[in-house]
């Protein structure tokens, strides 16, 4: 009913290699949970929804804490990299500022020193802050399991609220963000009950870039958070934006598509009616601001 004091008993194991992790998962099955920063896991354990007998700490595996930006202009973020590390990393700030912005919007500074991108993605809350931006940045998640390593587009990773394609014996090791189209600009807008520090009631990630194949001369990618069971890209909005010249008219049309695509619920944080209106609002604002960046204003 009400959360219990402290954490229930479990055995903590610090995994040495990814194969160790796989072995532990195979051995303990449902009784094992992987641990990153613990900010979601511990809350779940106090609430009684997570009852692992074994907690496997995977933060210290080789590469899990690395941020690597390579010559092919690709960013690889280890799954155990914290939100603060992402937000303050010079390469992320320089080349993927949208990711830095989203990471920096999570909770508080203290929480951001522990919360990890891998944990955020694997927890797959509909209001997770790194999911919409990972979708519009078209990142791939890197998973490791008994069959070795596999890579999956983020869009295929999220299968339901709190559900992912992560296999029972798998862990996430990294997220790979491809090179962005030249001239890309992005914005992550998050509406909470307080100005900052809250979970998202509605969130919108927008990425825009010049594209002379598109009739409008630009392409936009739009993802919505907290308004559906799974964070989603709004392809209908993206089509509208590819067709129509950037401006208030096109943005309003795209926002309506976003509203169509959203299926929010009433919950203790907000009503569906408000969320629908805010999807419209934030989509328009996001597009306006990205357009402002693209134009250099």
Partner 1 sequence: MANRSPSSTFTSDPVGKSVPRIDVVEKVTGSAVFIDDMQFGPGTYHARLVRSPHAHARVVRIDVSRALEVPGVKAAVTGKDLDARIGLYLIDRPIFAGERVRYVGEPVAGVVATSEEIAERAAQLVEVEYEELPAVFDPVESAQPDAPLLHPDLGEYDVASFIFPEPGTNVSEHFKLRKGDVETSWPRCAAIVEGEFRLPQIQHVPIEPHGAVALWELSGEVTLWTSSQSPFAQRDLIAQSLGIPHGNLRVVSPYVGGGFGGKAGVSMEVCAVVLARAVKGHPVKLRMTREEEFVGTTVRQSLVAHTKIGCDAEGNLLAMETEYYFGGGAYNDYGVNIARAAGYSCTGPYDIPNVKGDSYCVYTNQPIGSAMRGFGMPEIHWGIEQIMDQLAEQIGMDPAEFRRRNCVQTGDTILTGMEMPAIDLVACIDKVTEAIGWGKKGAASAPHKRRGQGIAIMWKAPAMPPNPGSSAVVRFNEDATLNVAIGAQELGQGAFTVAAQVAAQALGVPYEWVRVSAPVDTKYSPYEWQTVASRITWSMGNAVKAAAEDARRQIIELVADHWDEDPDDLDVKDGKVISYTSEREQPLQNMVIYGLPNEDFEGWKGGPVVGQGRFMPTYVTNLDPETGQGTRAVVHYTVGAQAVDLEVDTETGQVEVLEIASAYDVGKAVNPDLIMTQIEGGAVHGMSSAFEALRFDEDGRPLNPSLVDYRIATSVDVPREIHGDFVETPLEDGPWGARGVGEHVMVQTAPAIANAINDALGIRFNDLPLSAEKIFLALEGREG
Partner 2 sequence: MATHSITVIVNGSAEFLTVPSSMTLLQMLREELALTGTKNGCEAGECGACTVLVDGEPVNSCMMLAVEVDGREVTTVEGLARLYGDGKQLSPLQEAFVEHNAVQCGFCTPGMLISAHALLERSPDPTEEEIREALVGNLCRCTGYLRIIQAVQTAAARKEEV
Which of the listed partners (partner 1, partner 2, none) does 273 bind, with a CB threshold of 5 to 8 Å by partner kind?
A: partner 1
Q: How far is the CB of 1 from partner 1 (least distance, A)?
A: 6
Q: How far is the CB of 20 from partner 2 (least distance, A)?
A: 16
* Phi, psi dihedral angles at 169 (to 5 degrees): -110, 25
Cα 192 to Cα 41, 84, 271, distances in angstroms: 22, 20, 13
Centre a 10 Å sphere on the Cβ of residue 291 and count the other Cβ atoms it contains: 22
**Contact string 220-259 vs partner 1 (x = CB under 8 A):** ----------------------------------------
Closer CB to partner 2, 143 or 189, in the complex:
189
Q: How far is the CB of 16 from partner 2 (least distance, A)?
A: 15
* Phi, psi dihedral angles at 195 (to 5 degrees): -55, -50
The secondary structure element, H or E, covering residue 177 is strand 171-177
Inter-residue contact 102 to 92 (CB < 8 Å):
no
Could you say which of 21, 278, 279, 294 contacts partner 1 (CB under 8 A)? 278
Cα of first residue to Cα of last residue in the chain, in angstroms, is 52
Inter-residue contact 132 to 231 (CB < 8 Å):
yes
Closer CB to partner 2, 111 or 252, in the complex:
111
Which of the listed partners (partner 1, partner 2, none) does 113 bind, with a CB threshold of 5 to 8 Å by partner kind?
A: partner 2
Inter-residue contact 261 to 234 (CB < 8 Å):
yes
- Separation between Cα atoms, residue 266 and residue 12, nearest integer Å: 38
Q: How far is the CB of 3 from partner 2 (least distance, A)?
A: 7
Could you say which of 42, 281, 288, 293 contacts partner 1 (CB under 8 A)? 281
- Separation between Cα atoms, residue 9 and residue 141, nearest integer Å: 31
DSSP helix/strand/coil, 116: strand
**Contact string 179-208 vs partner 1 (x = CB under 8 A):** ------------x-xxxxxxx---------
Q: How far is the CB of 158 from partner 1 (least distance, A)?
A: 22
Residues that bind partner 2 (CB under 8 A): 3, 5-14, 37-39, 42-43, 46, 55, 57, 84, 107-111, 113-114, 196-197
Could you say which of 269, 288, 289, 293 contacts partner 1 (CB under 8 A)? 269
- Separation between Cα atoms, residue 235 and residue 258, nearest integer Å: 9
Nearest to 285, CA basis, from 148, 144, 189, 175: 189
Q: How far is the CB of 8 from partner 2 (least distance, A)?
A: 7
**Residues contributing to the site for partner 1 (CB under 8 A):** 1-6, 8-9, 191, 193-199, 268-271, 273-274, 277-278, 281, 285
């Amino acid at each position: 009913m009400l959360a219990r004091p402290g954490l229930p008993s479990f055995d903590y194991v610090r995994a040495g290699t990814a194969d160790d992790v796989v072995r532990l998962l195979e051995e303990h099955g449902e009784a094992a949970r992987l641990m990153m920063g613990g900010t979601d896991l511990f809350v779940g354990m106090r609430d009684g929804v997570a009852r692992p007998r074994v907690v496997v700490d995977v933060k210290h595996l080789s590469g899990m804490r690395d941020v690597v930006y390579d010559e092919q202009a690709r960013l690889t973020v280890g799954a155990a990299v914290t939100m603060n590390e992402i937000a303050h990393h010079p390469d992320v700030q320089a080349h993927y500022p949208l990711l830095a912005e989203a990471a920096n919007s999570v909770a508080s500074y203290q929480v951001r020193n522990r919360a990890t991108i891998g944990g955020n993605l694997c927890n797959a809350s509909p209001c997770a802050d790194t999911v919409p931006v990972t979708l519009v940045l078209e990142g791939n998640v890197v998973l490791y399991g008994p069959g070795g390593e596999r890579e999956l587009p983020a869009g295929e990773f999220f299968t339901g609220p709190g559900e992912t394609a992560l296999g029972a014996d798998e862990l996430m090791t990294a997220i790979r963000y491809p090179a962005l189209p030249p001239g890309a600009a992005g914005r992550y807008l998050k509406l909470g009950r307080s100005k900052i520090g809250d979970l998202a009631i509605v969130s919108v990630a927008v990425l825009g870039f010049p594209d002379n194949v598109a009739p409008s001369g630009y392409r936009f990618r739009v993802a919505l958070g907290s308004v559906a069971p799974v964070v989603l890209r709004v392809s209908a909005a993206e089509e509208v934006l590819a067709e129509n010249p950037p401006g208030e008219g096109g943005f309003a049309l795209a926002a309506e598509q976003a509203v169509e695509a959203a299926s929010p619920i009433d919950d203790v944080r907000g009503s569906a009616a408000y969320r629908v209106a805010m999807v419209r609002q934030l989509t328009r604002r996001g597009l306006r601001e990205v357009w402002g960046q693209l134009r250099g204003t």
